[in-house]
Structures are given as structure tokens and as C-alpha cells.
Amino acid sequence: MSEAQAKSNQTKRWQEMDAAHHLHPFTQHNELAAQGARVITRAKGVYIYDSEGNRLIDGMAGLWCVQVGYGRQELADAGYKALLELPYYNAFFQTTHPYVAELSQKLAEVTPKGIERFFFANSGSEGNDSAVKMIRFYWNLKKQPKKKIIIAREKAYHGVTMAAASLSGLTSMHPQADLPLPGFVHIPCPYWYGDGGDLTPEEFGLKTARALEEKILELGAENVAAFVAEPIQGAGGLIIPPANYWGEINRICQKYDIILHVDEVICGFGRTGKWFGSDTLGIEPDMINMAKGLSSGYQPIAAVGIGSKVGEVLFNAGEEWSHGFTYSGHPVAAAVALANLELIQKEKLVEKAGGATGAYFQKKLAELSDHPLVGETRGVGLLGAIELVKDKKTRERFDSSMSVGYQCRVHCFANGLIMRAIGDTMVLSPPLVINEAEMDEMFGLARRCIDLTARDLGIL
Ligand code: PXG
């Protein structure tokens, strides 16, 4: 049997096991089972490899998370050492351990000004559910039990657990589980390219920020607990708000005494060119949620960070906080996260994303805007979006039944590039360690695949 035949047989065996017994996230099960999942077997640097020996450049850093790239010895060593020394212990019964204590201190150093205490969870969704419970507890302690409604935004993605999915404004997530839960409402998001119409970005930024104020006044500030938002919306289509948006949101939250909970799960840890999206966009959060880049995805770990407004009240509640996970602050995950943050600092990855690497990425991204299929490119740091449209001038889109973005993604996979399609918005969010030669390759492949998509449509 040839080596290729052996690989193909092994791939089929894995695909069969997978099809028979594995339920995938966000997947139409029977469709995938019929076609067989691509089996990813290893990864190094900015590349992933499948079981057939194909190499793909990972333009999405996994799911927006592998900041330091794949296969980093420092993180593996940190995890291995913790596995041998203290593979598990919890922090429930007046105990702690060095890994979580040191990680907490490191987070206080790198997170936005004023964020100083951290609660650990295992996923971004759990972080947001924990944040919702904190927010409710805060207003109960403040003797304002009516102040409970949480406002989030359309097209927001905050995760899949019951409260996190209720916060999410991607409405297709809701009906299967009868969501959102009561007490969660959504306002329009600052997606100028998609929804701005004839307004200038500034006019639209102000309009969508003022939508928060209007909603607060409609509900009564005495009933509104918090506003929850991503600095730049990720899974909703890489929505970068106009420059005046966040200043107005800061003002409104302060004026009406509304907790501002910022979901930094994608924007955190250098992605936008500073440590956090809040730093880049001038946001003044009371609380933040983080995951993904916290461990570069090497271990499941998330954290909710709180400032003094919420922190002093919770800390001095005079009663036990009835919340926590078996794996809150897991020693192995904490050790890997700490090693990850130290590596990010040592290699100056945040400075690079905000400096030369980010500038080169943005230059290459902008070059795609001359393509006949590309209506707009936009980006910050190492985040980039490419809007595929029918008409560049009017911003008219293709009929969604044509699945143009999906077709482009299919070409990407076939040509060795992972690029995310969100409707017809193509998104790139590569590891922060990516170098110029790799960016040349990534953007070269992106152009080729957009060309192939245009050819399918009879445009080229
Ligand atoms: N908040 C934000 C802002 C996120 O992007 C979560 C919370 C939830 O995190 P967990 O760890 O529970 O998944 C996320 C996750 C995509 C995609 O396709 C994005 C996410 C997850 C899965 C897919 O863009 N973001």
C-alpha cells in the first residue's frame, strides 16, 4: 500500500468514528457526516496540517485565539511542569495555588486601568454567564433589585450558554432554545458599511450610540443594570465602530449609572494593537470578559476582570458569593496562561501588532480594495475584514441564497488558506507572530481565492 493510500484509509477511519459519535459545534450533523470532516492532525507556527498531508496557513489563529502561534515549547513546558507538580486543586475552601495567584497579579498588570480582581472560568461563555450573575448580585447588594435589564447589541456574539446566548444578538442562535431569557434586550450596532445608509460614519456612530440612551430612557434607568458589548464585534462581522462611538457610550453609561461590561474575548491580548480593545478604542469598562488569547487557546481558560466600582461592593458583601466552577483557575490552565502572557511580553507581540506587523497587515489588506468584488476592507491591528459585494458604489450585496462568502471560503480551504466567512464578509485574524513573508503568502492566497469567487460569478 502506498503512503498516500495508507493516509487516506486512516483519514476515512477517523471520519467514520467522528460521523458516528461526535456532535460538532454549530454544524448541520447529517450534512457533515455525509461529506466527512477534514481531520487536522498537527500545527506549527502559523500553519496547520491535515491528515492527508495538506498545509494551510491559518488566517484565523484557530478561532481568533492562537496569539503566539502553534507549537510553542514555553507553553508546553509550563503545562507539563504544572501537570507533574499540581495537576489539580481548587480554590473553593480557603486555598489557592501559585499558578492562579501569579496569573491574577499578571492580569492586573496588563488589563485596562482600574481592572484589578479576576474570577476564572473555562470559556468565554462561562465568563459572560458569571458576569451576568455578578451584575445581578451587585444591584441586589446596592439595594436596587429592580435594576436588572441588560442591554446588548444586534449581531453581538457573547457565547452559547443560556445567559451568554441571551446577550448575543445573532438571532439565529435563539429560537432552538427559546431564547433570549427575559431581561435581555438588544439595540442596533454601529455597522456603518452594512447599515449606515446615507449617513456619514460619524453621524451613524452617534446615532447608534444614542440608541443606548434612548433604550435606557424607554426602559427607565432604574431598571437597567448593564450594557454589554465587544469593543469590535468579531463573529458578527468584524464591526469596527466609528471613532466617536465609544466616547458617547462611556458618557451614557456613567450618566445613568449603568455597568459597562466589555467583552474582550476576541479583542484582548494584543489583537487590536494594544493589550485590550478597551485601550485601543478608549473604552472605560467597569468589568471585562477575556478568554481565547489569554492562553493562546492552548488551555481552556477565561476570566472576568472587575474594577473598584463592582469589586468593592462584591468584596465587602458580607456574604459568600455562591458561584464557581470545579476548574476555576485550574493550575495547568493558569500555568499555561501565565507562560503565554510572559511570552507575549518577551516577544513584544502587542507592540508588534500595534507597530510594524500591524501596519504591514493593514497595508496588504487595503490593497485588496481595488478588486471588483471587494466593496470595503477595514481593520485594526491584526484584524481585517473584506466585504464581498455586487456593487462597489452602492454597497449592494449578493442575494444571500448565492452564499458568495461561503464559496470564497471553500476556495480558500482548497488553496491552503483558512479565512472565515461571516455571510459575505471575509475575515482574517492571524497569529500575532506572523511575519511579512507569511503575510505576503496569506494575502496572495486571499486575492487568488477572491479571484476564483469572482470567476464563479462571471465577474472576472
Ligand atoms: N465572547 C466573544 C466576544 C466571543 O467571540 C465568546 C464570548 C464565547 O467564548 P467561548 O469560549 O465560550 O466559545 C466568544 C467566542 C466564530 C466564532 O466563528 C467565534 C467565537 C466562538 C466560536 C466561533 O467567529 N467566539
Query: For residue 211, what pLDDT is reported?
Result: 98
Which residues, in sequence order, are CB contacts of 314 under 8 Å at separation 6+? 134, 137, 138, 141, 306, 321
Nearest atom, ligand 1, residue 267 CA: 3
Measured between alpha carbons, how far is 378 from 366 in angstroms, rounded to an integer?
7
pLDDT tens for 76-118 read 999 999 999 999 999 999 999 999 999 999 999 999 999 999 9
Which residues is 169 bridged to in the sheet? none
Considering the segment(s) 38-68+350-456 as one domain, its CATH architecture is: Alpha-Beta Complex (3.90)
DSSP string, 128-139: HHHHHHHHHHHH
Evaluate whether 332 touches 258 at the Cβ level (below 8 Å): no
- The secondary structure element, H or E, covering residue 280 is helix 277-281
CATH of domain 73-346: 3.40.640.10
Output phi, psi for 367, to 5 deg. -60, -25
Mutate to test the pocket of ligand 1, among 288, 292, 418, 427 (most ligand atoms within 8 A of CB): 292
Beta-bridge partner residues of 304 = 119, 289
- Centre of ligand 1 to C-alpha 321, Å, is 26
Give the nearest ligand 1 atom to 292 CA. Answer: 11
Contacts of 363 (CB under 8 A, 6+ apart): none
By percentage, how much of the chain surpasses pLDDT 90? 99
Per-residue confidence (pLDDT) for residue 458, from 0 to 100: 95
Stretch 214-237: mean pLDDT? 98
- Within 6 A (CB) of ligand 1 lie 63, 123-125, 128, 157-159, 230, 234-235, 263, 265-266, 291, 420
Q: Predicted confidence band at 417 (pLDDT cuts at 50, 70, 90)? A: very high
DSSP state of 271: T
Residue 376's DSSP bridge partners are 387
Domain boundary assignment for the chain: 38-68+350-456, 73-346
pLDDT score of 110: 98
Distance from the alpha carbon of residue 142 to the mean position of ligand 1, in angstroms = 31
Please return the burial class of 252, using the count of CB atoms within 10 Å of its CB with bins 0-12, 13-18 and 19+. buried
Q: What is the pLDDT of residue 156?
A: 98
Please give the average per-residue pLDDT across 161-188, as a whole number.
Answer: 98
Residues 305 and 302: their CA atoms lie apart, in Å, by 10
Type of residue at 21? H
Q: Tell me: the pLDDT tens digits for 3-26?
A: 999 999 999 999 999 999 999 999
pLDDT, mean over the chain:
98
Name the residue at shortest CA distance from atom 1 of ligand 1.
Answer: 158
Q: Which atom of ligand 1 is nearest to the CA of 289?
A: 1
What are the distances in angstroms from CA 264 to CA 37, 288, 294?
A: 30, 6, 10
Distance 318 CA to ligand 1 centre (A): 34
Q: How far is the CA of 240 from the centre of ligand 1 (A)?
A: 17
What is the rounded CA–CA span in Å between residue 112 and residue 278?
7
